[in-house]
Amino acid sequence: MTSKILMPALSPTMTEGIINKWLVKVGDTVKAGDIIAEIETDKATMEVEAVDEGKITHLLKVNDAKKIPVNSVIAIIDGDKDENIEDQRVRTEQIHNIDSDTLEKKSIKEKVIQNELNAIVSKKNDKRVMATPLVKNIAKNKNIDLNQYKGTGPNGRIIKKDIDDKNFNKVSESFERDGKVIAPNTMRKVIAQRTLEAKQQIPHYYLAIESNVDKLISLRKKINSFSDVKISFNDLIVKAIAIAVEKNPETNASWNNEKIIKYETIDVSVAIALEDGLITPIVKKANSKDLKKISKEIKNLSELAKNNKLKKEQYEGGSITVSNLGMFGITEFSAIINSPQSSILAIGSIIEKPIVQEKNVIIGHTLKSTLSADHRVLDGAVAAKLLKDFNDIIENPFEIWLKSNDMEVI
C-alpha cells in the first residue's frame, strides 16, 4: 500500500517548511520511525520520521528557497512489494476517483503521485496576477501591466478601482529602482504575523518601576568571586521574576478561547536575539531552580537557538517572558506580549545616578523595568503587585540567594 509523507506541522505557528536535506534516496527501504529528512521550520531545524514501512519511490527535490505548505506531499513510500499492476490500478482508482479511460493510458499510481508532487511546485511558483475578470479584460485591451498594481480586493485581488487610482495603488517604480527588495524568511514572517496579532488582539497596558540595584550588584559580585559558574544580571532577573510570580499565582495564567487557563508550573521565557529574528526558549520551573542551574540552562538554550537546534517543547508555552535590552544601553522600553502568555517584562540598562537615600543624596545604580500586561487576564492591581514584588526582590536580593541552594556565599 502506498503511504504519503506530508510536510508536518512541527509547531502551532508553522504553516510551511523548507526541506533542508533528505537522509534517504529513491529506492531505499525504510521502516516506521526511521529519520528521513531535516525540515526547517519557523523556529528550528527538526527531523521527520517515516510513518510506514516500504520503499521510497518519490522525493520532492530539495530547494532551500522553496517553502512547502503544511500537509503537502513531500515523499511517497510503497509498502506493497508484491502488488501487481492491476491491484495498483484498482486501488488507486478507488482512492483518487480517476476515470477508467485515463487508467488504460498510463499507470494511475505513477500519474497520481507525479501530479501531487507537481502541484506543490505549481502552487509555490504560480506568479499569476490575481485580478477580477473585468480588470483582466481592461488590462488586455489597454495593454496594462497588472504586475505594477497592488490589489485591495479579497485576498489581494486587483479590482477596477485599483487601476483607476494609479498613484495610490501602483507599485513604486523608484522603490524598485533605488531599494533592495528582500523576501523575509520563515522566522521573520512568523514574527510579523504573531506580533501584529498580539498588538491587535491583546489589550496591552503598561506599568513601569525604577529599582535601586546596588545590593543586586553586590550580590552578583560576591557570587562570581567564589563561583566557577559566572552569573549574569539576566540570570538574577529570571530568578527574581519567577519568585515574584510564585508570590502572585493569579498572574501565572493566560487567555485562551474566552477562558482563563491557570498554570501549575512557573516557566520563564527568555528573549534571545538571532541573526534572522528572535526566539523565546523557556527555563521551566524557574522558581525552584538554583541560580547556577538557571545560568547554565540559559547559556545552553541560547547556543541551541543560535544553531537552530531547539526542540519545540523548549520554546512553546511559558508563564512570562523576560526581554532584556540593557546590554545595548537601552534605559527603558515596552515590549509586545508573547502570546499566549499574559505578560512580558522589559528590562533596561543599569544606570549610575544620584539618588536620595535617608534624606541624603548619594551615587547609586538604578534599573527601570516595564511590565506589559493583558487586561483580559490581569487587572491593574494584580499586575502592579507582581511588579512591586519583583522590585522588592531585586532591591533586597537576599531571597534570591536563599532560594538558590547552590549559592554558598552572600
What amino acid positions are annotated as catalytic residues? 375
The CA–CA distances, whole Å, from 275 to 14, 307, 408 equal 20, 11, 38
> How many CA atoms does the CB half-sphere of 130 hold within 13 Å?
9
Rounded distance between C-alpha atoms, residue 136 and residue 133, angstroms: 5
> What are 255's strand-pairing partners?
260
Residue 318, sorted as left (phi over 0), alpha (psi -120 to 50) or beta, turns out to be: left
Rounded distance between C-alpha atoms, residue 245 and residue 236, angstroms: 14
* Amino acid occupying residue 222: K
Close Cβ partners of 315 (under 8 Å, ≥ 6 residues apart): 43, 44, 269, 279, 280, 281, 282, 305
Rounded distance between C-alpha atoms, residue 383 and residue 375, angstroms: 9
3-state secondary structure (DSSP) of residue 348: strand
Q: Is there a contact between 354 and 363 (Cβ–Cβ < 8 Å)?
A: yes
Q: Is there a contact between 386 and 371 (Cβ–Cβ < 8 Å)?
A: yes
Cell of 73: 506531499
Cell of 68: 512547502
Rounded distance between C-alpha atoms, residue 78 and residue 76, angstroms: 7
* Amino acid occupying residue 346: A
Close Cβ partners of 147 (under 8 Å, ≥ 6 residues apart): 129, 171
